[in-house]
């Protein structure tokens, strides 16, 4: 006898079809929409499992709505986590095709790579505990596809963003710096440019007060679902500069003081 398909699985399959058809991001049908954060992450897990068949294993995590201003705008009181897949992680300099996405956006972040596990049993986590597990720090450009979402309506269905894996389509990582402990990650200066023109500046504290606090938040989130953050996994810790739409022909650069820059060309 076939096992009944759960609501989360049905919602995940609905999302897969929407992505495959390049449909605009809209709220899930009422009968499939998550009624709680727990339901939203259950849908995300099933959706991630479907996407992993094509994109490879989960190798890292992202944080959406890492700033209080963005959380107020969307109408939630907590950041949101998403999963990154093996085939979507690129090293700088990287190239992608705009035509492979519905509505391409980029964000500018500090990424960390773990040298040791942060197991679920050790939760809750804190900045100093996370720091001991971080093997390298690097700049990152997140690649995302909002599929033409109407941002003014996100507050009406904010949990759908979780279900849709927070729109992540990967990241471009800069050169990892293993000797990072001399950097003040909370005060580190960031600057982004598109086609040579600066489009924003920020500091590390934009990532939930401190990038390592953001990593601790992800580790606690995973622990709440019975998972650990594992050695070699990468976390991009939240955008330091407002997200930008990009198009074919654009050259995107992101610089963090004390680190090599990261570059993405859109074809």
Give yes or no for a contact between 74 and 155, defined as CB atoms under 8 angstroms apart.
yes
Residue ranges of domains in the chain: 58-266
Q: How far apart are CA 165 and CA 159, in angstroms?
A: 10
Give the model's pLDDT for residue 208: 93
User: What is the distance in angstroms between the CA of the first residue and the CA of the last residue of the chain?
Assistant: 49
Query: Among residues 201, 165, 167, 158, which one has the least CA distance to residue 71?
Result: 158
- Domain 58-266: CATH architecture, name and number where available: Alpha-Beta Complex (3.90)
Q: What tens digit of pLDDT does each residue of 223-245 get? A: 999 999 999 999 999 999 989 99
**What is the pLDDT averaged over residues 71-100?**
92
Q: How far apart are CA 219 and CA 129, in angstroms?
A: 11
Q: Where are the alpha helices (DSSP H) in the chain?
A: 7-20, 37-55, 68-74, 127-133, 159-163, 211-224
Give yes or no for a contact between 210 and 127, defined as CB atoms under 8 angstroms apart.
yes
Q: What tens digit of pLDDT does each residue of 111-133 get? A: 999 999 999 999 999 999 999 99
Give the model's pLDDT for residue 230: 97
Q: Which residues neighbour 147 within 8 Å (Cβ) at sequence distance 6 or greater?
A: 18, 19, 22, 23, 24, 25, 102, 103, 167
**What is the pLDDT averaged over residues 61-81?**
84
Q: What tens digit of pLDDT does each residue of 3-50 get? A: 788 999 999 999 999 999 999 999 999 999 999 999 999 999 999 999
Give the model's pLDDT for residue 107: 94
Q: Which residues neighbour 128 within 8 Å (Cβ) at sequence distance 6 or greater?
A: none
Confidence of residue 70 (pLDDT cuts 50, 70, 90): confident
């Amino acid at each position: 006898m076939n096992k009944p398909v759960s609501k989360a699985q049905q919602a995940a399959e609905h999302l897969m079809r929407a992505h495959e058809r390049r449909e605009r991001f809209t709220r899930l049908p009422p009968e499939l929409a998550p009624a709680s954060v727990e339901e939203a992450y259950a849908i995300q897990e099933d959706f991630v499992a479907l996407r992993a068949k094509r994109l490879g294993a989960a190798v890292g995590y992202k944080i959406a709505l890492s700033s209080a201003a963005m959380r107020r705008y969307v109408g939630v009181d907590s950041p949101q986590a998403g999963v990154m897949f093996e085939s979507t992680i690129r090293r700088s300099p990287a190239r992608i095709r705009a035509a492979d996405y519905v509505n391409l956006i980029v964000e500018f972040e500090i990424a960390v790579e773990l040298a040791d596990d942060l197991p679920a049993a050790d939760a809750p986590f804190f900045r100093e505990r996370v720091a001991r597990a971080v093997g390298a720090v690097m700049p990152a450009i997140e690649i995302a596809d909002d599929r033409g979402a109407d941002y003014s309506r996100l507050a009406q269905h904010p949990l759908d963003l979780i279900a849709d894996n927070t729109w992540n389509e990967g990241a471009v990582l800069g050169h990892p710096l293993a000797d990072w402990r001399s950097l003040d990650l909370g005060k580190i200066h960031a600057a982004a440019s598109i086609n040579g023109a600066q489009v924003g500046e920020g500091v590390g504290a934009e990532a939930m007060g401190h990038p390592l606090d953001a990593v601790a938040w992800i580790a606690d989130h995973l622990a709440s679902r019975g998972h650990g953050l594992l050695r070699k996994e990468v976390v991009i810790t939240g955008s330091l500069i407002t997200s930008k739409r990009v198009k074919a022909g654009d050259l995107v650069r992101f610089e963090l003081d004390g680190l090599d820059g990261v570059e993405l060309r859109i074809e």
